[in-house]
Amino acid sequence: MIRKLFFNARIFTPTSQGNVELYPKGYILVENGRIVSVGEMDNRQRLLLDGLHEIDLCGATVIPGFVDSHTHSCFGATRESEFNMRLGGKEYLDILKAGGGILSSVRSVESLSEQELFTISSIRVNQMLVNGTTTLEIKSGYGLSTELELKMLRVIDRIGREMPLDIVPTFMGAHAVPPQFKGNPDEYVNIVINDMLKAVKHQRIAKFFDVFCEEGVFSIEQSRRMLNAAAASGFKLKIHADEVHSMGGASLAAEVGAHSAEHLLAASDEGISAMARAGTIAVLLPATALSLRKPFARARKMIDAGVKVALATDCNPGSCYCQSMPFVFMLGVLGMNMSGDEALTACTLNAARAIGKERDVGSLEAGKKADFVVLDCDSPAGLAYRLGSPVISSVYKMGEAVA
């Protein structure tokens, strides 16, 4: 058995939305990668625990590893040329309508071998790990055919098996309407329901189903049909809801019992109330709002309504190529008026809840994985105070230094 004692750390760990416990002279006792106990160090404990592999953290600040609960980080080519088009005034959805956007990433995934897609994606994921992410949701959705969606999910699964992060795979075959179904999107919806869901279920990699419910992509009615079919096949549900247009995506999430609704830049008051009643988690992506030059989601309104709020990067080649949870944390605090403690909960515990991993990760508690980040600042709010400067000293996954 491998036993480690991390001691002499300022440990901050969330207990519920916006509530964070602090152990000013804290320790974490770890056995085989799992936390046995966390608390305040006193002399007696030092004595009892003598003989362990001891790691002195020299008074540094420690927080749980970040849980990035919404990403499209498995992709091939970047789309910087589209970013330049957007800077020139083109709208994100118009680029997609013209056959670019998500469809251009589909062509890239198609052109790469599985090994190439793995290599490119794992380099990107490693950069996220260096930024403190120890658990990562990754969506498919650059395949849009059974064969290519299964290929993406195999690559996503391999990232989880070969890299020191927990990966949560999401099937997002309903990310866009493939060009051959442009005049008849319902036919593609039927293929998702009748063919793809079965194949993906049989593959046994994806845990969640997600759909891009948006004007010009999938309507509320089409999304509802796919979501209900996915639930019947045993998938947990997520929705890209009210990202650009206020369509009633948040209310749909509540209606179909979705685990989470994501983006929500244009979510209505009714949608937020419906989410609060249904217990739907809000996954907010402020770096996407920034990159699209849109107003941030109304995090305060959601928190005050009793909605559990998570923050994530949305890392993707189109709307938001962000790999940094510290950057997202900073936007939560300075862009959306969240407190440092709320942002910490949103980047860890609530994010773990958003992907069904709260029993394993998201806080530093007995029984969970010893995933944590050592920071070069006095408190979690230092991540916002330092405005994107490098404040991460090291990253631990299951008690092992990985960055």
Determine the 3-state secondary structure of 371 from DSSP: coil
- Side chain identity, residue 383: L
Q: Coil, helix or strand for 162?
A: helix
User: 306: how many CB neighbours lie within 10 A of its CB?
Assistant: 13
Q: Should residue 314 be labelled a site residue for Fe ion when binding is judged by CB under 5 A?
A: yes
Nearer to Fe ion, 314 or 341 (CB): 314
If the CB atoms of residues 242 and 314 are measured against Fe ion, the closer one turns out to be 314
Distance CA 282, CA 276 (A): 9
Tokens 């994921």 sit at which residue? 125
Q: How far is the CB of 242 from Fe ion (least distance, A)?
A: 13
- The minimum distance between CB 93 and ligand NIG, in angstroms, equals 9
288 contact, one of Fe ion, ligand NIG, none, CB 5-8 Å limit per kind: ligand NIG
The residues, any chain, with a CB within 8 Å of residue 286's CB and separated by 6 or more, are 296, 297, 311, 328, 331, 332, 335, 336
Shortest gap between Cβ of 314 and Fe ion (angstroms)?
5
Task: Return the closest-CA partner of residue 326 out of 160, 139, 128.
Answer: 128
Closest to Fe ion by CB, 82 or 314: 314
Tell me the residue type at 297: A
Q: Which is nearer to Fe ion, 314 or 371 (CB)?
A: 314
Determine, following the binding rule CB under 5 A, whether residue 242 of this chain makes contact with Fe ion: no
Footprint (CB under 6 A) of ligand NIG, residues 37-76: 72
Tell me if 318 contacts ligand NIG by CB under 6 A: yes
Q: How far apart are CA 320 and CA 128, in angstroms?
A: 14
Q: How far apart are CA 320 and CA 249, in angstroms?
A: 21
Among 137, 243, 342, 371, binds ligand NIG (CB under 6 A): 243
User: Residue 252 or residue 384: which is nearer to ligand NIG going by CB?
Assistant: 252
Q: Which one, of 176, 190, 127, 19, lies nearest residue 395 by Cα?
A: 127
- Asked if residue 342 binds ligand NIG (CB under 6 A), the reply is no
324 binds ligand NIG (CB under 6 A): no
**Nearer of residues 239 and 256 to Fe ion, judged by Cβ:** 239
Q: Which amino acid is residue 392, in one-letter code?
A: I
- If binding is defined by CB under 6 A, does position 288 make contact with ligand NIG? yes
Q: Which helix (H) or strand (E) holds 138?
A: strand 133-139
Q: Is 137 in the site for Fe ion (CB under 5 A)?
A: no
Q: Which two tokens stand for residue 70?
A: 């919404």
Q: What is the DSSP pairing of strand 19-31 with strand 66-68? A: unpaired
240 part of the interface to ligand NIG, by CB under 6 A = yes
Task: Determine which residue in the list 18, 64, 65, 101 makes contact with ligand NIG, applying CB under 6 A.
Answer: 101
**Residue nearest ligand NIG, CB atom distance:** 318
Site for ligand NIG in 171-230 (CB under 6 A): 212
Angstrom distances, CA of residue 161 to CA of 67, 199, 233, 323: 17, 21, 25, 20
Q: What is the contact surface with Fe ion in residues (CB under 5 A)?
A: 314
Q: What is the contact surface with ligand NIG in residues (CB under 6 A)?
A: 72, 101-102, 105, 212, 240, 243, 288, 314, 316-319
